[in-house]
Amino acid sequence: MKIGLMAMVMAGLLVSGVASAADKTPQQEKMSMCNQHASSQNLKGDARKTFISQCLKKS
C-alpha cells in the first residue's frame, strides 16, 4: 500500500514539474537568448560571463 501511494506521489511530482518547465519566465527567455548569442560568438570563460551580463542589462 505504501509503495503504491509513493509511486502515485512521485508520478504527480514528475507531471507537475514537466508542466511548469514548459512555461519560461521573461528572465529565462532573456537568459536563453543571451546564451545563444554568446554561443554563436564562441565566447568562453570570463568573456562569456561579461557578455551575458551586459546582454541581460540591455534586454
Question: If you write DSSP's letter for every residue of 1-59 in order, what string do you get?
Answer: -HHHHHHHHHHHHHHHHHHHHTS--HHHHHHHHHHHHHHHTT--HHHHHHHHHHHHHH-
Q: What is the pLDDT of residue 12?
A: 72
Query: CA dihedral defined by 50, 54, 56, 59, rounded to 10 degrees?
Result: -160
Q: Say what percent of the chain tops pLDDT 90.
A: 56
- Determine if the pTM surpasses 0.85: no
- CA angle at 22 for the pair 16 and 27, rounded to the nearest 5°: 115
Domain definitions of the chain by residue range: 26-57
> Does the pLDDT of residue 34 top 90, yes or no?
yes
Please provide the average confidence, as pLDDT, over all residues in the chain.
82
pLDDT by residue (tens digit) across 12-27? 766 665 555 578 899 9
